[in-house]
């Protein structure tokens, strides 16, 4: 749930839950009942340490690399050049 929130830039957990309920693509990723947003928020504030979160992130990256979707050969960086208004 938190991964979906951060990847798509959803500003709050409450909104993330609403998006997951409405979007079939998100539901495809989650086979279980949707957790209440306050439970996720409580866990991140009181239960999960920085070390735990970092471990989860590295686990995800290792899974992606093992599946062949991650390669250090090419790096894509999103950047937009916007000219200043010189009035």
Residue 78 lies in a domain: no
Range of the domain at 23: 2-66
**Alpha helices for 1-87 (secondary structure H):** 2-7, 13-22, 24-29, 37-42, 50-66
Predicted local distance difference test score (pLDDT) of residue 67: 92
Domain count, the chain: 1
Nearest alpha-carbon partner for 6 in 62, 56, 73:
56
Task: Evaluate if residue 7 carries a pLDDT over 70.
Answer: yes
Residue 18 lies in a domain: yes
Which residues, in sequence order, are CB contacts of 28 under 8 Å at separation 6+?
none
Please indicate, yes or no, whether the overall pTM of this predicted structure exceeds 0.75. no
Residue 29 lies in a domain: yes
Nearest alpha-carbon partner for 29 in 1, 58, 63, 66:
1
Predicted local distance difference test score (pLDDT) of residue 19: 86
pLDDT in tens, 14-28: 898 888 888 877 766
Which residues, in sequence order, are CB contacts of 14 under 8 Å at separation 6+?
37
């Amino acid at each position: 749930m938190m991964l979906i929130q951060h990847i798509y830039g959803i500003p709050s957990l409450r909104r993330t839950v609403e998006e997951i309920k409405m979007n079939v693509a998100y539901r495809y990723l989650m086979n279980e009942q949707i957790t209440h947003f306050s439970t996720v928020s409580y866990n991140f504030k009181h239960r999960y340490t920085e070390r735990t979160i970092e471990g989860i992130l590295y686990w995800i990256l290792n899974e992606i690399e093992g599946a062949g979707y991650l390669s250090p050969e090419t790096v894509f960086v999103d950047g937009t050049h916007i000219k200043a208004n010189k009035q």
